[in-house]
Chains A and B, each alone.
Chain A
Amino acid sequence: MSRNPLIREVPPTSWYFRHPRYLRYMSREITSIFIGAYCVLLVVGLQRLSAGPAAWEGFLAALKSPASVVFQFLCLVAAVYHAATWFNATQKAMPIQIGEDFVPGNLISGAHYAAWAVLSVVVLFVAGVF
Chain B
Amino acid sequence: MKERLVQLEVLRYNPDTDTEAHFQRYEVMCQEEWVVLDALNKIKADIDPTLNYRWSCHMAVCGSCGMMINGEPKLSCHAFLRAYEGVIRVEPLAHFPVERDLVTAPDDFMEKLKRVKPYIIPKEKKPISEGEYKQTPAQLMKFRQYSMCINCMLCYAACPEYGLTPDFIGPAALTLAHRYNQDSRDGGRKERQEVVATHEGVWECTFVGACSEVCPAHVDPASALQQMKITSSIDWIVEHLIPGGKS
Contact = CB atoms under 8 A, between A and B. Distances in A.
A94 B137 contact: no
Interface string B207-247: 11110110000001011001101100000000000000000
Contact of A97 (B97, B141, B164): B141
Interface string A1-43: 1111111101010011011011001000100000000000000
A101 to B, nearest CB: 8
Nearest to A105: B223
B226 A89 contact: yes
A6 B71 contact: no
Given A3-B15, A5-B99, A100-B137, A10 B220 contact: no
A64 interface: no
A127 interface: no
B16 interface: yes
B71 A19 contact: yes
A97 B138 contact: yes
Contacts of A12: 164
A104 interface: no
B223 A6 contact: no
B98 A8 contact: yes
B123 interface: no
Given A16-B160, A92-B226, A99-B138, A6 B213 contact: no
B16 A2 contact: yes
B147 interface: no
A58 interface: no
Interface in B1-58: 13, 15-16, 18, 20-21
A93 interface: yes
B15 A6 contact: yes
A6 B220 contact: no
Contacts of B213: 21
Most buried by A among B15, B98, B160: B160
Interface string A63-97: 00000000000000000000000000100111101
Contacts of B95: 10
Contacts of A4: 15-16
A22 B227 contact: no
Considering the complex of A and B, which 6 residue pairs feature the smallest CB-CB distances, nearest first?
A5-B97, A92-B223, A4-B15, A93-B226, A10-B163, A6-B98
11 contacts: A2-B15, A3-B99, A4-B16, A5-B15, A5-B99, A6-B15, A15-B164, A19-B210, A21-B210, A25-B208, A25-B210
